[in-house]
Amino acid sequence: MISLFLKCLLGALAVLLIALLSRSRNFVIAGLVPLFPTFALIAHYMVGSERSAADLRATALFGLWSLIPYATYLLAVYWLSIRASLTVMLAAATLAWAVAAGALLLGWSRAYPTAL
C-alpha cells in the first residue's frame, strides 16, 4: 500500500511542477518535466524486479520506440497550434498519438510476437 502511495505522490509532484513552471517566465521548461522518467523508473523497477533481464531490455527498447508516438503528438501540437483552437488542436494531437501508438503496437506485435 505504501509503494502505491509513493507512486501516486511522484505523479502528483510532476503535475505540480508542470503547473508551477507553466506560470513562470521559464514556461517552456514545463515541456521537459513530462520527459523526466518518473513512470519509466517505476515501470523499469517493477519489470526488473519481477521479470528477467531480457524482459527489462525489451521494455527499454519498446520505450525507445514509444518516443515515435510522443514525437507525433508534439509535431501535431506544433503544427496545429496556429491553425486550430486549443481544444481542437489537443484533440487532434491526441488522436495522432493514438494512431501512432496503435501502429507501434501492431508493428511490435509482429516483430516480437511473444512480448505482447
Q: Please write the tens of the pLDDT for every residue from 60-72.
A: 999 999 999 999 9
Residue 58 shares a structural domain with residue 10: no
Task: State the total domains in the chain.
Answer: 2
CB-based burial, 66-99: b 16+ in 10 Å, e otherwise: beebeebbeebbeebeeeeeeeebbebbeebbee
Checking if the pLDDT of 5 tops 90, the result is no
Checking if the pLDDT of 47 tops 80, the result is yes
In a domain, 47, yes or no: no
Q: pTM of this prediction? A: 0.80
Residues of the domain holding 102: 52-116
